[in-house]
Amino acid sequence: MQKKIKLLHITSSLKMGGAESLLCDLIKNMDTTMFEHHVIYFHDGPHSVHLKELGIPLHQIKGLVSLYDPVFCARLYAHIKKINPDIMHTLLWAANLFGRMCAHVLNIPVVCAMHNNVDQDGFIRALFDRATLKMADKFIAVSEGVAESMRKRDAWLPAHKIQIIPNGIDFKNLQIKNEQAKKSRQELGLSSDHFVIGSVGRFMPVKRYDLMLESFALLYAQYSHARLVLVGIGDMEMQLRKLAAHLRIDHAVTFIIGQPAYQYYSLFDCFSLSSDKEGISIALLEAMSFGLPCVVTSSESSHAVLQHEINGLIVPAGNVQQLSQAWAGLMGNKLLKELLGDCARKTVVQEFDYKKMVSSYQTCFKDICAVGEHYSI
């Protein structure tokens, strides 16, 4: 009987988020006859429950005084050594950094998944990255844009070290879960006459929810039946609530905190993201799978998922007025709304099925193990 590959996943967080959701889907759908999974995480969250239900061994690492203190580092090293994996898969910035350092010392192959453009990390993080990038065997970029940001910042990286594996979702399972637990508009104080704009994401500066609120204020001034629903969690929640009150739109904005997004997609008339850049947003793919017309902002000339006026609308990053106008355009054009939604659904089904993603990850892990010292196939 063929020996299973012992695969250790290290993630900074199991909170609600696209990367965390993708990790759970990946583990759930990988070949159980080929891989034995272990997960190390730093910040707890609802996804730990999902992984426990799958029977995955979980190990949370904490520091003594603060999260990333010397005790944390020692505990992380000790846990990895005890598990003794054949290969490691890390995701999110802190897990990528500490994971590849430990893997280097323990001589374990490591694959670092990159879910966001590296130019969003900031100067200090970039310094740590550059000092440790050589320790990784492979980088998985979730989009060409993420890969290009790596090539631009770290031109010395060999081309073969960066592999693009687009994110994917299990859209059929998502529909089933929605049918079982979907919310009604009445539960949120919404009516069938309201035009509901929805967004899903972490409440943090890079997501630019301040821009979204300012744009919505312009829209609401003209269309009083417009409503905005923000599903997420994060440190900026109170700041965003205060901004909504300052803009006098708080009665038209609903915050849904810490709840699964799949319960709410069917309530939206359109979906929107306001960040300057994204890798491949899981929330965007999920919204598209529900046939929602999507409006996103972007600072790049092309988008990893959407084509303007074909399967969505793309607005220049930071442009409050144009974002508001794009929403208004959908409100007044039912045909465009339906066409964009239909094309969005087809795009996800044809290009972002989770099966393609899982197969690519499995092949990547197997190939690295095949040439490594710790495992041979």
Q: Is 45 exposed, middle or buried (0-12, 13-18, 19+ CB in 10 A)?
A: middle
Mean pLDDT of 119-138: 88
Q: Which residues contact 13 (CB under 8 A, 6 or more apart)?
A: 19, 20, 41, 42, 43, 45, 92
- Confidence category of residue 377, pLDDT binned at 50, 70, 90: very low
Identify the helix (H) or strand (E) that includes residue 178.
helix 171-181
Q: Which residues contact 191 (CB under 8 A, 6 or more apart)?
A: 185
pLDDT of residue 371 exceeding 70, the answer is no
pLDDT computed for residue 375 by the predictor = 35
Domains 5-168+353-371 and 171-351 agree in fold = yes
Name the DSSP class of 372. Answer: S
User: May I ask the CATH architecture of the domain 5-168+353-371?
Assistant: 3-Layer(aba) Sandwich (3.40)
Mean pLDDT of 230-241: 96
Contact criterion met (CB below 8 Å) for 10 and 89: yes
pLDDT of residue 220 exceeding 50, the answer is yes
Mean pLDDT of 206-228: 97
Task: State how far the alpha carbon of 20 is from the alpha carbons of 43, 182, 217, 240, in Å.
Answer: 11, 22, 32, 24
Give residue-wise pLDDT tens across range 31-70: 999 999 999 999 999 999 999 999 999 999 999 988 899 9
277 vs 144: CA distance, rounded Å: 12
Task: State how far the alpha carbon of 214 is from the alpha carbons of 101, 240, 249, in Å.
Answer: 42, 11, 9
Residue extents of the structural domains in the chain: 5-168+353-371, 171-351
Tokens standing for residue 175? 């529909």
- Confidence category of residue 126, pLDDT binned at 50, 70, 90: confident
CATH code, 171-351: 3.40.50.2000
Give residue-wise pLDDT tens across range 269-327: 999 999 988 879 999 999 999 999 999 999 887 898 999 999 999 999 999 999 999 99
Would you list the DSSP string of 99-142? HHHHHHHHT--EEEEE-S-GGGS-HHHHHHHHHHGGG-SEEEES
Choose the most confident range, by mean pLDDT, from 109-118, 168-177, 212-221.
212-221
Q: What is the pTM of this model?
A: 0.89
